[in-house]
Structure 1
Amino acid sequence: MTRVCLIGEDESTLRYELLSRETARDALSTYDLERPFENSLAVRTVSVGAAVSLLNDLDWYLTRFVDEALVQEPSVSEAEWLSRPLARQLRNGTVDSAETAEYCKIYGLERVETAVESPVDDGSGDTDSSSNAQRGSTAASDATSNDENTSPARTEDSSDADRAETTGPTYRLVEPLYVRRTDDELPEYDLRDVEDVLVVRLTEAEYTP
């Protein structure tokens, strides 16, 4: 299964922004939602093509609320993620999986001692739950005019079950380090002390040392 992980911008609450808007909610409705990192949303799809198609469907929201859109394809790497442009190239056949490893950025994973995130009512009476944090490699069409022009209102009359909060340790992505792989080795992350790292493979155009 190919994973898609969206990391929200600092000023947005990603799950709320996506699940409170009909077009995005419909695009995600067939998936089990996970939260591998702080302010993130992840799903499992059947292929790289399906992952890229889902990101295309959510493109309007990605532009406004998402800092990073990542794809993890086990046939490429069980441990590392692909950037959205690199996943698109892989889907289109313009790059082979063996050619994806050279350019990377490494995020530090910093533990957030207490993370609280309320589920979002999608209007059906069910509430999406968040998964526990996962560390390192085990972690992660345009909208309609109504979505673009209307600010959603929070649901205030949820049941006690809907208001239940998920607590526990989670991790945030911090300060990426841009690196090139040489002799199948990556440099160590040295920008700060962190508990773990997350590696994202990039296109050459995205690489900014």
Structure 2
Amino acid sequence: MSNGRRSKGEGLGPSNAAAAPRGVLLIVVAVALGVLLLWKGLGASEFAMTPAAEETVTTTTADVTTDTGVDGEPTTVTGIDGEPIETTTTTLFPTVTALPPNEVTVLVANGSGIGGAAGTITDLLKPEGYVTLAPANAEPTGVSGIYYRTGKADEAREVMEVLAPGDPMLIKILPEGGLAVPDGTQERVVEADIVVILGSDGLIISE
């Protein structure tokens, strides 16, 4: 007869058998979760963008001290290290000053056909301080001109401003073959720095 009691250890077998698979399943799930978390962590680290290093640019400004010089003369420049640097100032278009009228000899020769024209023009130059030669004759011509020797272009321009202001086409260099003047005038042409030829075009004198 059964007394209604289970013998020691009865019923434990099936319970233990069911618990074992559950434990294994939990372990597998835990391992899977760990692997998943580990993979995510590695992936994030592997593909994370690393910001580029910022470039640092250092600009050094030199304190430069310049002493004002004159054209063509050395100018002292102090560099960042305090050592003087020698430079030269050059003017691209230097100012040229014409000689004063009392150092310029002018001859007026008349080829205009107007009587006494050379004397009239000579009288205009005298008050300006020019050294004037005796008025002379030129061969008859229809072209007026203010002729200058080499190096006297600025002086010729000053004469032009007295006789025919604003007409630079009158200014010409003395031709190598000389001017068309009578023999008696040649000597005075040689003495002159500027020779004014009066033509019938009326650019300098007219009736």
Give the alignment's TM-score, normalised by structure 1. Answer: 0.23
Structure having greater relative contact order (Cα 8 Å, sep ≥ 6): 1
- The structure with the greater share of residues assigned to strand is 1
- The structure with the greater share of residues assigned to helix is 2
Report which of the two structures shows the higher radius of gyration computed on alpha carbons. Answer: 2
